[in-house]
Copies of this chain bind each other. A is one copy, B any other.
Amino acid sequence: MRYAVLGGGKRVRPLLAFAAGELARAPTERIDAAACAVELIHAYSLVHDDLPCMDNDVLRRGKPTVHVEFDEATAILVGDSLQALAFEMLATGRLADDASTQLEMLRAAAVASGTRGMAGGQAIDLASIGQVLTLPELEFMHILKTGALIRAAVTLGARCGSALSAEEFGHLDRYAKCVGLAFQVIDDVLDAEAPTATLGKTAGKDAARGKPTYVSVIGLGRARELARALRRDAHAAVEGFGARAERLRDLADFIVLREF
């Protein structure tokens, strides 16, 4: 579990949780727990997705994947235990002003992880190998597979505090949807363009397996254009927060301009 979680990574979800939490004037130790729980869910999904019967990847964050370094049974149990640990963290201590809000946070994390989120998206992803998808179908898959947990990171961070009105929360959620989708568009662009050494994971993997990607569905140029539009939309969504949303804007920039 340590190998899977502490081996680096961009930590985009925790960063988003912190940026949203600070906007909601949440105490740092609350955001810390929520951010950590979301990252544990993300880390578990990578361990399971890399398994031979799933994406069959041997390299992650520049190191052998968990099932290569240990074995497949360990990788399955590591993922299972990380998911349980994430929910344990969300249920331990006080993460919101009241316990009901904390239950809502837990529910949001569970929904974002299950069939209507990450796991459902991965199931569609595996079923799409060798298929031709339309842009809306591809977007639907990614809204579940990557978008849901990124959105949950922002939601959970914000719910740790109480400074946001329902309207402000709505703006923040729109921001989260935009960066969630932009994240995946850029992932596909990098998978097609960047070398393995820079990515820390096997490049060109999706195309080689016949997986539909933004690049295969709309082409490299339009994919980059889409990411730029989503970045603009993300900025626009949090415009009303002024200087308080600086970190959120920086993260939208990082997600779209990153090279790994």
Residues on A facing B (Cβ under 8 Å): 1, 44-45, 48, 51, 53-54, 71-74, 76-77, 79-81, 83-85, 87-88, 90-92, 98-100, 102-104, 106-107, 109-111, 113-115, 117, 119-120, 122-123, 126
Contacts and interface: CB of A to CB of B under 8 A. Distances in A.
A84 B44 CA distance: 12
B98 A110 contact: no
Given A100-B99, A103-B102, A119 B88 contact: no
Where chain A touches its partner, the secondary structure class is helix
Contacts of A79: 80
A104 B102 CA distance: 12
11 contacts: A53-B71, A54-B76, A76-B76, A80-B114, A81-B120, A83-B83, A85-B114, A88-B111, A88-B114, A99-B99, A99-B100
* Residue of A71, A72, A102, A110 most packed against chain B (CB within 10 A): A110
B73 A126 contact: yes
Given A73-B53, A73-B54, A110 B85 contact: yes
Contact of A77 (B74, B80, B123): B123
A88 B152 CA distance: 14
Given A102-B103, A103-B91, A48 B114 contact: no
Contacts of A90: 106
Contacts of A115: 1, 81, 84-85
Contact of A74 (B81, B84, B100, B123): B123
A103 B99 contact: yes
A200 B208 CA distance: 42
Q: Which 4 A-B pairs have the closest CB atoms?
A: A84-B114, A99-B99, A88-B110, A53-B72
A57 B102 CA distance: 39
